[in-house]
Structure 1
Amino acid sequence: MTASADSLPDLRDRLGERYEILRQLGRGGMGAVYLARERRLDRPVAIKVLPPDLATQPELRERFLRETRTAASFSHPNIVPVYGVEEQDGLLAFAMGYVEGESLGARVARSGPLGVKETVRLLQDVAWALAYAHGRGVVHRDIKPDNILLDRATGRALVTDFGISRSITAPGAAAAPGLTRVGEVVGTPEFMSPEQASGDTVDGRSDLYSLGLVAWFAVTGQLAISGDTTQKILVRQLTEAVPSVALHRPDLPAPLAEAIDRLVRKEPGDRFASAEALVEALESAQLSAPEVALPVRLLAQDLGQLGLVAVFLLIIITMWQGGTAQRAPGNIDIALPGLFLLAVLWGRLAMTVGAARRVVEAGFRPAEILAGFGRVLSEREEERSRLRALPTVVARRRRTVIVFGSMIAMGVAMIWVVLQARVPSGPNHFTVPRPFVVMLLSAVIMIGISMIGLMRSPFRPGIGERLFRVVWMGLPGRLFLRLAARGVTTGGGAPLTPPPVRPVRVTPAAPPAALPRAEPDRLARLEARVESLERWREGGGG
């Protein structure tokens, strides 16, 4: 097999009968991934092609085929499905489901750390996937941000790349020839459990440790364990406790922070016993708040817009009528623009009432709608808390304040210059040269833009949200929803808001008084295992 065996033209020649290869999605140490269309079923797939040097090694080839077949037997909504293996003339590739979205690593790099709601869903989705795999005797062994894909349409997390997974065999049972054996160190050091780093026997709790490090990364944007070399990283995985995530994200709910801290305990017995136990702990702590139904979310958006429109139109009407009524009292032509704007406001209000009635007809009671509004506001506050914890966002906002403040000062100075350039042209009348008129307009625009920029802070609610809290979350909002619901026949059905449940704290296992030092024999074996891992990474595992 030549070095170009995984190139786009060569791949089209080899697999063109079954797949239409469209473009390359990415390339890493374990090969390249291409977007393709399966001709027979007319569906998009992702094809991963192993590097030539790995595909031609009989032992690695056989192990990969065995473990890929294991992954192909999985059927779970949070695991990327494997559709088939392509093996021909030195080419080794497999087709899997195409997830239109991005990896968790790319998501954090693009938008920064996740919020509480996103993190809880991530943990639950990945935990369910791991519970499924562990229940079938398979440990993933390479849970990391790049192996977790986020579907763009639904936000669902899917686990991929079971290429180095290992079947869990009973003590004393012989492993199948070619499968990963105890003592082999493979994986990603930054997300590797201590028992995996030392080459000891691993079980599902090893994946939970890796998931804890992934969650730590997701909420902070930083690696919990890092180092200049592979050896330093592995030594830290074996000997150093992971810092509490609450030190870096104090805004996290205590149960979530404690759950993440418990996942990254060094001793497997101190972690959650299983992935199901993690999901149950998150659910019992009521961290995953009920989703806000789309009709309620749209109604909240509609009411927010109505409030701003009403305030804006009333200000215009007041200013217009106040300025013109004194000059021409009783002139109906002066009142027509105000009447027109009032008619627009009344029509907008009638449309919003109709939208509210449709939400009630769908089965939502006024109290449930208000509860949904409250969750929408809570989501916004949660997002602001997340942004406050990001140094880059804080620094950017500080620069923005300085720029806008300077623009306001400059605008005021420009207006002062224009005032000095005025030339009297009559009683209480002045004229200014045309360049100064342009300067005056520029100054007014600069001041207006700067004031909006200063008022619109990512760290505090805007005017529209404050108005929403006062009006629609208060007595006017309750009266509005009751009037909108009058005479409406609901669709019935089960209650849409579950009864309140007292949150249950996730109590982590008590940490040891002092982190036990790694056994001398484990450290003595570490150097050899580091060399093994580095060879594996250089050969395609990185």
Structure 2
Amino acid sequence: MSRATAPPPPPLIPGTKPAPGYEILAHLARTGWLDLYDAWSEERDCRCVVKVVRPDRRHEERLRDRLLREGRWLRAFTHPHLVRAYDTFEFPEPLVVLETLTGETLSHLIHRLRHRPAAEDVALLGVHLCSAMHYLHGQGLLHLDLKPSNVVVDCGHAKVLDLSVARPPGIAPAGVGTFCYLAPEQARGGPLTAAADAWGIGVTLYEVATGDLPYDCGETVDEEGAETGAEAGNGTGDDTSGPDDWYPQLEEPVLPIGSRRRLPRDLATAIDGCLRPDPAARPTIWELTAAFDAALPWQRRHVPQA
């Protein structure tokens, strides 16, 4: 007879001070390995988000290291389309303090809106995602977990969240990222390049534009992490894999976006190009930026080639 698994310890209660200068206001969400809190910063006199490893998983050194690594990156990076980190603490427990973002995650918008966003809004989102990925790639990192719940939009301005599975280009194990959003080479494992993030941009824009993924993921859904998607850092960032290592990206043809919705030809071609099975056949981030920018006639600009 197997022993029942003890439930994880409850979240921190309001009023708790997890680190000097920060006070818990409310528990936002619990993911597979993280707790997320609405908190108050005494130094900044404002709300923030505190991200900590769940109490029942703090003994896992790899998770502690992953959280601290993400916090150090986000403190060092400065970009208008990336969430900012204010502080990183190693003691008494690993903890990262992030800015609180207004707006909604794309996941919330996809399910809330009665009508699909205009083509110009899809293109503008593409420009913002490309800008963030261009910066990250210049810092020597791949994001590897672009998905609607990892993007917050406020008044047309997008910010990318969650660097918990980010890594430099190179060999990676199979399944790093989120099941439904993995590029085929992420699902298989092996060498990863900037083309994996081009896939992430394409699959995110496809879902925003049509309300659906370009293939059937069965009952697997993307975890939102919190009902309020306005708070930074609410993606799960888990290394997830499908049942029995089955991935629709490896077996099902990707339906052209034109089969789901009519879009300007160049915009549809760019999104479809991101979802080519062969990484070498996908457009570069620069080529995507130029394509998305060209779909914005009111602010069309020259995009310098890198």
TM bucket normalised to smaller: 0.7 to 0.9
SS at match of 1:64: helix
- Tell me what 2:107 maps to: 105
How far, CA to CA, are the matches of 2:143 and 2:187 in structure 1? Answer: 14
SS at match of 1:139: coil
Report how far residue 282 of structure 1 moved: 2.0
Alpha carbons of structure 1 residues 87 and 4: separation in structure 2 relative to 1, 3 Å: farther
Give the structure with the larger helix fraction: 1
SS at match of 2:297: coil
- Tell me what 1:69 maps to: 72
Report how far residue 232 of structure 1 moved: 7.5
Aligned length: 273
Of 96, 99, 115, 2:98 maps to 96
- Tell me what 2:260 maps to: 248
Contact 1:164 1:186 in 2 (8 A): yes
Report how far residue 38 of structure 1 moved: 1.1
SS at match of 2:144: coil
How far, CA to CA, are the matches of 2:107 and 2:245 in structure 1? Answer: 19
- Tell me what 1:411 maps to: none
Report how far residue 72 of structure 1 moved: 2.4
Q: What residue identity is the alignment partner of 1:146? A: S
When normalised by structure 2's length, the TM-score is 0.81
Consecutive unaligned residues of structure 2, counting only runs of 5 or more, are 1-6, 221-241
Contact 1:23 1:35 in 2 (8 A): yes
How far, CA to CA, are the matches of 1:54 and 1:259 in structure 2? Answer: 41
Q: What residue identity is the alignment partner of 2:203? A: L
After TM superposition, list the pairs within 5 Å mapping 1:69-218 onto structure 2.
Answer: 69-89=72-92, 91-112=93-114, 113-151=116-154, 154-168=155-169, 182-218=172-208
How far, CA to CA, are the matches of 2:45 and 2:95 in structure 1? Answer: 19
- Tell me what 1:237 maps to: 249
Alpha carbons of structure 1 residues 16 and 62: separation in structure 2 relative to 1, 3 Å: closer
Q: What residue identity is the alignment partner of 1:255? A: D
Contact 1:241 1:265 in 2 (8 A): no
Report how far residue 97 of structure 1 moved: 1.3
Contact 2:206 2:257 in 1 (8 A): yes
- Tell me what 1:509 maps to: none
- Tell me what 1:257 maps to: 268
- Tell me what 1:270 maps to: 281
Report how far residue 107 of structure 1 moved: 0.8
How far, CA to CA, are the matches of 2:25 and 2:103 in structure 1? Answer: 17
After TM superposition, list the pairs within 5 Å mapping 1:302-313 onto structure 2.
Answer: none
Of 272, 280, 291, 1:281 maps to 291
- Tell me what 2:231 maps to: none
Report how far residue 228 of structure 1 moved: 4.4
Contact 1:128 1:276 in 2 (8 A): no
Q: Percent identity?
A: 30
Q: What residue identity is the alignment partner of 1:83? A: Y
Report how far residue 196 of structure 1 moved: 0.4
Does 2:212 correspond to 1:222? yes
Report how far residue 281 of structure 1 moved: 1.9
Contact 1:189 1:234 in 2 (8 A): no
Report how far residue 34 of structure 1 moved: 2.1
Does 2:47 correspond to 1:47? no
Alpha carbons of structure 1 residues 247 and 232: separation in structure 2 relative to 1, 3 Å: farther
After TM superposition, list the pairs within 5 Å mapping 1:121-520 onto structure 2.
Answer: 121-151=124-154, 154-168=155-169, 182-225=172-215, 226-228=217-219, 230-231=242-243, 234-250=246-262, 252-273=263-284, 275-283=285-293, 286-290=294-298
Contact 1:241 1:266 in 2 (8 A): no
Alpha carbons of structure 1 residues 168 and 77: separation in structure 2 relative to 1, 3 Å: same
How far, CA to CA, are the matches of 2:121 and 2:245 in structure 1? Answer: 28
Q: How far does the alpha carbon of each residue in 1:380-412 deviate from its partner, in whole angstroms, 9 at most, with x for none?
A: xxxxxxxxxxxxxxxxxxxxxxxxxxxxxxxxx
Report how far residue 186 of structure 1 moved: 2.1
Contact 1:47 1:94 in 2 (8 A): yes
Report how far residue 122 of structure 1 moved: 0.8
- Tell me what 2:9 maps to: 4
Higher Cα radius of gyration:
1
SS at match of 2:90: strand
SS at match of 2:172: coil
How far, CA to CA, are the matches of 2:70 and 2:253 in structure 1? Answer: 32
Contact 1:245 1:257 in 2 (8 A): yes
Q: Which of structures 1 and 2 has the larger relative contact order (alpha carbons within 8 angstroms, sep 6+)?
A: 2
Report how far residue 184 of structure 1 moved: 4.8
Report how far residue 33 of structure 1 moved: 2.2
How far, CA to CA, are the matches of 1:36 and 1:14 in structure 2? Answer: 9
Alpha carbons of structure 1 residues 264 and 96: separation in structure 2 relative to 1, 3 Å: same
